[in-house]
Copies of this chain bind each other. A is one copy, B any other.
Amino acid sequence: MPISTYLEAGKAALAEEMRRDGTVWALGEDLGRGGVFGQYAGLADLFGTERIVDAPISEAAIMGTAVGAAMTGTRPVVEMRFSDFALCAIDELVNQAAKARYMFGGQTRVPLVAREPVGMWRSSAAQHSQSLESWYTHIPGLVVVMPSTPADNKGLLKTAIRSDDPVVYMEHKDLWGLQGEVPEGEHLVAFGSARVVRAGTDVSIVSWSKTVHTASEAAAELAGHGIDAEIIDLRTLWPWDQETVSASVVKTGRLLVAHEAVGVSGFGAEIVAAICEQHFESLRAAPQRVTAPRVPIAYSPPLEDCVRVTAARIVEAARRLMSER
């Protein structure tokens, strides 16, 4: 299979879908020059500036016009640049896109994809580093996707573009350069199907996005301590693959969720709560979350590091989990 980066895989997905379906288009700032991370480089040449649209700095309009355009027979791919700027377009996404189908009794659909790059990356500080995925999981009507690999960034973005529901599609900025095998052509990854990255019997470590790689690192280290961790990459947070997680927890009896976002009311809370409600009897120890503390993200690298989820922190939590009972 050809090797490609996470960034290129996303670009390939968009290009393929634009070729397949003339109603797919993308809009966002600076797209004509490739977008802020180069995710759109060359696409304006391929598809023209009518379909790769340079927007003014008007996040509300980028999202809001996409809502109208999605209701009117097109499939807009909205580029928000940094997920933080999507906070300038929340009414459009949450009050309009997410609710339109329901409010109007099924008369319409809003097939838009809002690409919202997340995460800490090159000391970008408090307004350019957030991971607010749990917000969107709380909003009925929204699909929430967080790919961790190049292959998934292709397969999930293609699925997202074909989705008739609005999708919040969160790529991690720190993964743009990640290389991996990416299937050519029609590679689609279904929503709600987690990937078992590593099978294991002692502890179930659930994660997504960049933290999947940290968890995998941790698993390798845990193996050295004689702990056999199962690593699950959720891929999509809504829908989330509760079946796979449940099966794993029933097997291991131990649940650890790791994510980059703030722990308080992060999506880890939902997973822990759901599993505790449904598999309480299977749990052999208190579940654990390894997440960021409830503080804004600082600029200075050592302060940034203090909130980072590291393999060491996951290892420590997993060992604590194993030592209980």
Q: Say yes or no: B276 contacts A265, CB within 8 Å.
A: no
Given contacts A141-B296, A262-B140, contact A278 B286 (CB under 8 A): yes
Given contacts A140-B294, A265-B269, contact A87 B90 (CB under 8 A): yes
A135 contacts partner chain B, Cβ-Cβ < 8 Å: yes
Q: Say yes or no: B84 contacts A95, CB within 8 Å.
A: yes
Q: Say yes or no: A272 contacts B276, CB within 8 Å.
A: yes
Cα separation A84 to B95 with both chains bound (whole Å): 8
Instruction: List the number of copies, as a whole number.
Output: 2
A298 / chain B contacts, CB cutoff of 8 Å? 102
Q: Say yes or no: A88 contacts B91, CB within 8 Å.
A: yes
Q: Say yes or no: B277 contacts A287, CB within 8 Å.
A: yes
A214 contacts partner chain B, Cβ-Cβ < 8 Å: no
Given contacts A90-B90, A102-B126, contact A267 B270 (CB under 8 A): no
A294 / chain B contacts, CB cutoff of 8 Å? 140
Q: Say yes or no: B273 contacts A289, CB within 8 Å.
A: yes
Q: Say yes or no: A125 contacts B103, CB within 8 Å.
A: yes
- Residues 81-102 (chain A) with a chain B CB within 8 angstroms: 84-85, 87-88, 90-91, 94-95, 98-99, 102
A134 contacts partner chain B, Cβ-Cβ < 8 Å: yes
**In the assembled complex, how far is the CB of residue A311 from the closest CB belonging to chain B, in whole angstroms?**
20
A138 / chain B contacts, CB cutoff of 8 Å? 132, 134-135, 261-262, 264-266
A39 contacts partner chain B, Cβ-Cβ < 8 Å: no
- Residues 253-287 (chain A) with a chain B CB within 8 angstroms: 261-262, 264-270, 272-274, 276-278, 280-281, 283, 285-287
Cα separation A240 to B268 with both chains bound (whole Å): 18
Given contacts A132-B138, A138-B132, A296-B141, contact A270 B265 (CB under 8 A): yes
A91 / chain B contacts, CB cutoff of 8 Å? 85, 87-88
- Residues 123-153 (chain A) with a chain B CB within 8 angstroms: 125-127, 132, 134-135, 137-141
**In the assembled complex, how far is the CB of residue A306 from the closest CB belonging to chain B, in whole angstroms?**
13
A6 contacts partner chain B, Cβ-Cβ < 8 Å: no
Cα separation A200 to B139 with both chains bound (whole Å): 34
**In the assembled complex, how far is the CB of residue A254 from the closest CB belonging to chain B, in whole angstroms?**
11
A84 / chain B contacts, CB cutoff of 8 Å? 95
Q: Say yes or no: B127 contacts A99, CB within 8 Å.
A: yes
Question: Which residue of B is nearest A257, CB measured?
Answer: B273
A276 / chain B contacts, CB cutoff of 8 Å? 272-273, 276, 286-287
Cα separation A262 to B280 with both chains bound (whole Å): 22
A281 / chain B contacts, CB cutoff of 8 Å? 286
A1 contacts partner chain B, Cβ-Cβ < 8 Å: no
A277 / chain B contacts, CB cutoff of 8 Å? 272, 286-289
Q: List 7 A-B contacts (CB under 8 A).
A: A99-B127, A135-B265, A138-B262, A272-B272, A273-B276, A276-B286, A277-B286
